[in-house]
Amino acid sequence: MMAAENTGRRKLSIFGREITMPRSRAARIAIGVILTIGGILGFLPILGFWMVPLGLLVLSYEFALVRRHRRRFVVWWERRRKPD
């Protein structure tokens, strides 16, 4: 068996699936911005409004302001799902 190599690459975990992001910070920012802008144009064919949250998720790994809002949303969501 081969040992798992820790490459230090960032991964997105969405609904149990892991997506590896590019190593380049500029590429991650570009992908996040493109997804967000494409989502704003979601009324056009091919593009969809689902791209906005995905773009913000990618950007949250680079910018503290977006990361802070993502964490608040996750805490709110988990509290909402928690059975009382």
CA distance linking residue 57 with residue 43, whole number of Å: 21
Predicted confidence band at 72 (pLDDT cuts at 50, 70, 90)?
very high
Predicted confidence band at 5 (pLDDT cuts at 50, 70, 90)?
very low
Share of the chain above pLDDT 70, in %: 88
Q: What is the pLDDT of residues 40-70, one digit of tens each?
A: 888 877 778 888 888 888 888 888 888 898 8
DSSP 1-28: -PPPP-----EEEETTEEEEPPS-HHHH
pTM for the full predicted model: 0.67
